[in-house]
Chains A and B, each alone.
Chain A
Amino acid sequence: MQTTVEEKETSMQTPAKTATRDIYLPSERKSVAGGGTPHVVAKDFSIFYGDFEAVKKVNADILSKYVTAIIGPSGCGKSTFLRAINRMNDLIPSCHTTGTLRFDGEDIYGKLTDEVLLRKKIGMVFQKPNPFPKSIFDNIAYGPRLHGMTDKKHLMEIVEKSLRKAALWDEVSDRLDKNALGLSGGQQQRLCVARTLAVEPEILLLDEPTSALDPKATAKIEDLIQELRGSYTIMIVTHNMQQASRVSDYTMFFYEGTLVEHATTPQLFTNPKDRMTEDYITGRFS
């Protein structure tokens, strides 16, 4: 399980956009116009719960408008890293960080950073769908209203646009006033995506968004990720490696808090550079 320093240094580099021998993204995942610039940049970024270093000196560039999957065994720090990006870990009193984590060049953990504004730009969807016990309309309009939007016509436009982007409009357009809790699990999860999109974020953080869904609802969420790719930077934590390989352009593999490998998804799933990655994705992990 040990890797050499040299291997680690190589594998932890941000993947080159053009390798000497190109690793082609599948044809349905063409290059994104205007994408590929570092959107989130971690430099020696560590996250601690008290004395315990849950994420260890991560160095990585998350490229804009592409989908990055984060995989790794339970407890490896992948969700902790994801939640750090919109400072969800602030809710845990013992949690603190070292190093830097930047979003569009701004220090996410800077003293002047406004967490509310940050979370508007970096939205999050969780494992279990969590719609508010309100109407479908009010769920989507909640964020814009929180940020001061009151114009009903404009709110309606936002609700429709967000539901369309989340591929839910056709299923709910005739019952926007109905309680969101009456939707199926898959619809509720897409509603949560729509609710996140309503405040026009730049980044979507998805923390195991399909683990509570059946295969059909999972497929819809995966299709949705492909639809949103190119418009948003998307990061998805998943235990399902087939899902990571299906939906993402880049994959990060974490093990015991360390970012072991960060590469294009085709590269990582066909010819990983690190033995630990290889053993994990082929199920040889002991």
Chain B
Amino acid sequence: MSERPVHEHIRELSEVLVQLSEKVLQNFDDALAAVKNQDEEGARRIRHADLEIDLAEVGLEERCLAFLALQQPVARDLRTIVTIMKINDDLERIGDLAVHIIERMPEIKPDMLQMFDFERMGHLAADMTRKSIEAFISKDRFLADKVCSLDEEIDAIHSSVFKRVAHLMKDPDSDVDQLISLLSISRYIERMADHATRIAHEVTYLVTGEIVRHNDVSYEKLVQSLKD
């Protein structure tokens, strides 16, 4: 049976989401590189790209809302559209985090940045996001579960950054503003991983119909990390 127009439409919306995720991930990588290299021009491009991401996010949401109103999808189709809308929201927030990172750039000296392994942390968070989108594309709940399990490593790195910053702050000659900015960058990367985990949860809903985000230990950890 050939694909019906309504299902082609859902596939198109899925493809738009995947394209958005590629833009968001590129912008996040660029943001970390810009801070590392103190690249003002790169920072300007990132801000501009984030405006495009915002517009794309609104555009995709409008298309999903129109689809809901006009096609009244049910079952798998309904879950797919709802999942696209939720992932769309998470991607836009990851886009904002990239901008938050470059906003910290003026306060950070490259030599201090090298004291922390943000490159690895950023790579891990981006990898989680990429995998969560792959899980969406292939409707792979096991890959989604794997993404959730990766969040612990990011949390551990963030926790070690926190402890190190706290230790450095005890020095009366420490540059507190810079240390807070460094801690913020760690926090932004950790938040990105949280969004990747949310995307993975949304994929689990898409595949199983079960809302799992408040079920597991990782959610408890997320709540705890927000409290911390």
A residues sitting closer than 8 Å to B (CB atoms) are: 21, 241-242, 245, 269-272, 277-278, 281-284, 286
Q: Are B210 and A278 in contact (CB-based, < 8 A)? A: no
Q: Are A270 and B72 in contact (CB-based, < 8 A)? A: no
CB < 8 Å neighbour of B75 from A21, A242, A269, A286? A269
CB-defined contacts of A283 to chain B, threshold 8 Å: 4, 6
Give chain B nearest CB distance to A238 CB in angstroms.
14
Q: Is B73 an interface residue (CB 8 A)?
A: yes
Q: Are B72 and A278 in contact (CB-based, < 8 A)? A: no
CB-defined contacts of A21 to chain B, threshold 8 Å: 210
Q: Are A281 and B4 in contact (CB-based, < 8 A)? A: no
Contact with A along B56-80 (1 / 0, CB 8 A): 0000000000000000111111110
Q: Are A282 and B76 in contact (CB-based, < 8 A)? A: yes
Q: Are A271 and B75 in contact (CB-based, < 8 A)? A: yes
Given the complex of chains A and B, what is the CA–CA distance between A272 and B42 in angstroms?
Answer: 49
For B4, B6, B7, B76, the residue with the greatest tally of chain A CB atoms inside 10 Å of its CB is B76
CB-defined contacts of B78 to chain A, threshold 8 Å: 269-270
Q: How many A-B residue pairs have CB under 8 A?
A: 34
Give chain A nearest CB distance to B37 CB in angstroms.
48
Q: Are B74 and A281 in contact (CB-based, < 8 A)? A: yes
Contact with A along B181-218 (1 / 0, CB 8 A): 00000000000000000000000000011100000000
For A242, A277, A283, the residue with the greatest tally of chain B CB atoms inside 10 Å of its CB is A283
Known A-B contacts A21-B210, A284-B1, A284-B7; the reply to A270 vs B73 at CB < 8 A is: no
Given the complex of chains A and B, what is the CA–CA distance between A281 and B1 in angstroms?
Answer: 16
CB-defined contacts of A277 to chain B, threshold 8 Å: 75
With both beta carbons as reference points, the residue of chain B lying nearest to A267 in the complex is identified as B209
Given the complex of chains A and B, what is the CA–CA distance between A192 and B6 in angstroms?
Answer: 38
Given the complex of chains A and B, what is the CA–CA distance between A89 and B1 in angstroms?
Answer: 36
CB < 8 Å neighbour of B76 from A241, A245, A278, A286? A278
With both beta carbons as reference points, the residue of chain B lying nearest to A269 in the complex is identified as B74
Q: Are B72 and A271 in contact (CB-based, < 8 A)? A: no
B interface, size bucket: 10 to 19
Give chain B nearest CB distance to A202 CB in angstroms.
31
CB < 8 Å neighbour of A271 from B1, B6, B7, B209? B209
Q: Are A282 and B1 in contact (CB-based, < 8 A)? A: no
Given the complex of chains A and B, what is the CA–CA distance between A206 and B121 in angstroms?
Answer: 62
Give chain B nearest CB distance to A174 CB in angstroms.
39
Q: Are B209 and A270 in contact (CB-based, < 8 A)? A: yes
Given the complex of chains A and B, what is the CA–CA distance between A284 and B3 in angstroms?
Answer: 8
Contact with A along B73-114 (1 / 0, CB 8 A): 111111100000000000000000000000000000000000
Give chain A nearest CB distance to B77 CB in angstroms.
5
CB-defined contacts of A278 to chain B, threshold 8 Å: 75-76
20 contacts between A and B (CB under 8 A): A21-B210, A241-B74, A242-B72, A245-B74, A269-B74, A269-B75, A270-B74, A270-B78, A270-B209, A271-B75, A281-B74, A281-B75, A282-B74, A282-B75, A282-B76, A282-B77, A283-B6, A284-B1, A284-B7, A286-B1
With both beta carbons as reference points, the residue of chain A lying nearest to B210 in the complex is identified as A21
CB-defined contacts of B208 to chain A, threshold 8 Å: 271
Given the complex of chains A and B, what is the CA–CA distance between A282 and B208 in angstroms?
Answer: 16
Give chain B nearest CB distance to A279 CB in angstroms.
9
CB-defined contacts of B74 to chain A, threshold 8 Å: 241, 245, 269-270, 281-282
Give chain B nearest CB distance to A239 CB in angstroms.
15
CB-defined contacts of A284 to chain B, threshold 8 Å: 1, 4, 7
With both beta carbons as reference points, the residue of chain B lying nearest to A241 in the complex is identified as B74
Contact with A along B12-44 (1 / 0, CB 8 A): 000000000000000000000000000000000
Give chain B nearest CB distance to A2 CB in angstroms.
16
Given the complex of chains A and B, what is the CA–CA distance between A277 and B75 in angstroms?
Answer: 9
Given the complex of chains A and B, what is the CA–CA distance between A278 and B7 in angstroms?
Answer: 14
Given the complex of chains A and B, what is the CA–CA distance between A32 and B73 in angstroms?
Answer: 28
With both beta carbons as reference points, the residue of chain A lying nearest to B4 in the complex is identified as A283
CB-defined contacts of B1 to chain A, threshold 8 Å: 284, 286
A269-B78, A281-B74 known; 9 new pairs, CB 8 Å cut-off, are A241-B74, A245-B74, A270-B75, A271-B208, A271-B209, A271-B210, A282-B75, A284-B1, A286-B1
With both beta carbons as reference points, the residue of chain A lying nearest to B80 in the complex is identified as A282
For A21, A242, A271, A281, the residue with the greatest tally of chain B CB atoms inside 10 Å of its CB is A271
Give chain A nearest CB distance to B111 CB in angstroms.
53
